[in-house]
A and B are shown apart, each in its own frame.
Chain A
Amino acid sequence: MRETKCATGITVERRHPAVFRTGWKMLQSVVLMILVLTLPVQASEGTMGYEGGISVTDRMVKDTYRYREVVFVTGKPVVLDGTVVIKKSMKVGLETATYTYNLANVQQQATLTRVLLFDTAVDTKNNGQLTRSTTLARIPTEVLKIGSVTYTLSSATFTRSDLTDPKPSIGYHAGEFSGKKVYRVGTGADVPSVTVLSSGKVYAYDQYWSNTQTQKVKLQVSYAKKGEVKWGGTAEVNVSASSRQNMQYRENEPSQISFDGGYIRTTWDESVLSYSATFPEFDKGGIATDYMVTVSNRLELTTEPVNERLMVPDIRHLKGHWAEKAIHILYGLEVVPGSGEDFNPEKFLTRAEFVAQAVNVFKAVPPDPNVRATTTAKTTASKTGDTLPFVDLKEGDTYLAEIVDASDRQIVVGRGMAYFRPDEYITRAEVMTIAIRALGLGNLAAWPYAVSPFADNDKIPAFARNAVSVCAEIGVLEADADGRFRPNDFMTAGDAAELLYRLINYMGDDLVTDYREHTTQY
Chain B
Amino acid sequence: MKKQMKHAVSLLLAIILTLTAPSWRIQAAITPELPVMTFTGTEKATAVLANLDYSDVRASTSFAKEAIWETGALELMKGYASDTGTTKRFGLNDTLSVEQALAVAYIAAGREAEAQAAAETLDKARAADARLYPTPKMWSDGYIQLALNDGLLTQNQFADALQTDQLALTGENFLRKSSVTREDFAYYLGGVLKLALQYPQTRVFNSYSDWLQADPYRVPAIEAMLQNRIMHGDTSGRFRPKGFLTRAEAAQMLQNAEPVIFPLLGLTKNKGRVEGVDLQDDWTAGVQTKVRTVRIRNSDGTLHALILREPVSAVMPDRNELTGTAVNRPRNTVVALDGKPAAGGVLAAGQQIVYVSDTNQEVPYVQVQTGTPKTIYLGRVEAVDPATRAMTFLPYREIPFADIRLLDPKSIRNMTIGTKTIRHIVSAGAKIFTGEVQQMLDAIEPETHAIVVVEGGMITSFEMVDLDLLAEDGVVAGIVAENNASLGYVTLYRADGSGVSSGLDDGFSGLRTYSYADPISVRRDQRLAVPEEVIPGDSVFLKLDDENQVLDMSAAHDYTPVFGTVLKAGPATVMLRLPDGKTVQYPVPAGIPVLRDGRTAARSEMAVGDNIRLLAQINGDSVQVAEVRLEKMPNPVTAVYRGKYVWYDPLREEVVVSGQQQFIGGRWEPTENIGSVSIPLDESFAGTLPETGSGIAFIAVRKDAGGMERLVGFVLREGDRYDQVFDDTVASASVDGTRIALEGTSATLVNDSGTLVVRDGKLVAPTALSPSEHAMLSAGRDSATGQLRTDVIVSDTVNRAGELSVYRGRIAAVTTNTAFTLESFARLDGTNWSFFNTPKTFTTRLETTRLLTGGGVGNLREFTEEAWKGKSVYILSDGSLSYTISDATYGESVLKGRLKSLDGSIQDEFGMTVTEPTGLTVTEGRRYSPLTYQWVSETVSPVTVPGDAILIRKGLQANLSELVPGETVILLQSQAAGEAKVVIVK
Contacts and interface: CB of A to CB of B under 8 A. Distances in A.
Interface string B543-560: 000000000000000101
B302 interface: no
B540 to A, nearest CB: 10
A107 B498 contact: no
A88 to B, nearest CB: 28
Interface stretch (B249-257, B717-725, B909-917): B909-917
A58 to B, nearest CB: 17
B478 interface: yes
Given A289-B860, A292-B847, A449 B908 contact: no
Contact of B500 (A264, A282, A290, A455): A455
B415 interface: no
Q: Which of A284, A452, A459 has the most CB of B within 10 A?
A: A284
Contacts of A521: 611, 631-633
B978 interface: no
Interface string A392-419: 0000000000000000000000011101
Contacts of B854: 284
Interface in B927-955: 947
A302 B706 contact: yes
Interface stretch (B437-445, B512-520, B835-843): B437-445
Contacts of A250: 650-651
A188 B493 CA distance: 73
B849 A522 contact: no
Contacts of A522: 613, 629-632
Interface in B280-302: none
Interface stretch (B156-164, B199-207, B375-383, B693-701): B199-207
A451 B199 contact: no
A106 interface: yes
Interface string B679-706: 0000000000000000000000000111
B910 A299 contact: yes
Contacts of A416: 203-204, 206-207, 437
B745 interface: no
Contacts of B947: 284
Contacts, number: 180
Contacts of A301: 706
A291 B705 contact: no
A99 B868 CA distance: 54
A417 B437 contact: yes
Contact of B858 (A7, A81, A289, A453): A289
A448 B479 contact: yes
B26 interface: no
B914 A455 contact: no
B524 interface: no
Contacts of A458: 498-501, 506
Interface string A405-443: 000000000011101010000000100000000000000
Contact of B706 (A299, A449, A450, A455): A299
A297 B207 contact: no
A157 interface: no
Contacts of B633: 274, 276, 296, 298, 521
B89 interface: no
Given A449-B495, A451-B497, A465-B496, A274 B705 contact: yes
Contacts of B200: 488
Given A273-B705, A522-B613, A248 B910 contact: no
A460 B478 CA distance: 17
A125 interface: no
Given A415-B203, A488-B200, A78 B912 contact: yes
Interface in A1-44: 7-9
A367 interface: no
Counting chain A CB atoms within 10 Å of each CB, which of B561, B619, B631, B705 scores highest? B705
Contacts of A463: 201
B856 interface: yes
Interface in A449-500: 449-463, 465-466, 469, 473, 475, 488
Interface string B5-18: 00000000000000
A276 B537 CA distance: 37
What is the predominant secondary structure among interface residues of chain B facing chain A? loop
Contacts of A473: 560
B857 interface: yes
B910 A81 contact: yes
**Residue from A290, A460, A475 with most neighbouring chain B CB atoms (10 Å):** A290
A518 B203 contact: no
Given A9-B442, A284-B854, A291 B629 contact: no
Contact of B860 (A81, A108, A290, A297): A290
Interface residues of A, number: 70
B500 A291 contact: no
B850 interface: yes
B909 A107 contact: yes
A448 B857 contact: no
Contacts of B707: 300
B907 interface: yes
Contact of B914 (A108, A248, A462): A108
A273 B707 CA distance: 12
B620 A453 contact: yes
A451 B558 CA distance: 11
Contacts of B563: 518
B129 to A, nearest CB: 49
Given A107-B908, A273-B705, A521-B633, A449 B479 contact: yes
Contact of B855 (A77, A284, A291, A454): A284
Contact of A448 (B495, B501, B847, B851): B495
Given A291-B848, A449-B479, A451-B493, A108 B908 contact: yes
B346 interface: no
Contact of B580 (A9, A107, A475): A475
Contact of A460 (B479, B498, B613): B498
A432 B386 CA distance: 34
B261 to A, nearest CB: 25
A455 B501 CA distance: 7
A372 to B, nearest CB: 33
Interface in B607-624: 611, 613, 618-620
A273 B495 CA distance: 46
Given A290-B861, A299-B706, A521-B632, A452 B580 contact: no
A135 B563 CA distance: 37
B906 interface: yes
Contacts of A448: 477-479, 495-497, 539
Contacts of B619: 451
A461 B908 contact: no
B421 interface: no
Given A8-B440, A9-B442, A466-B497, A446 B620 contact: no
Contacts of B495: 448-449
Q: Nearest 5 pairs between A and B by C-beta?
A: A284-B856, A449-B497, A300-B706, A290-B846, A300-B705
29 contacts: A9-B440, A78-B912, A79-B908, A107-B914, A108-B914, A276-B633, A289-B858, A290-B847, A297-B912, A299-B705, A299-B910, A300-B704, A300-B705, A307-B651, A416-B206, A417-B207, A419-B206, A448-B479, A448-B496, A449-B493, A449-B495, A453-B618, A456-B501, A458-B498, A459-B199, A461-B201, A473-B560, A488-B200, A522-B613
Interface of A: 7-9, 77-79, 81, 105-108, 248, 250, 264, 272-274, 276, 281-284, 287, 289-292, 296-302, 307, 415-417, 419, 421, 429, 446-463, 465-466, 469, 473, 475, 488, 513, 518, 520-522
Given A284-B855, A449-B496, A454-B500, 9 more contacts: A107-B907, A276-B633, A289-B851, A289-B859, A449-B493, A451-B493, A451-B497, A451-B619, A518-B561
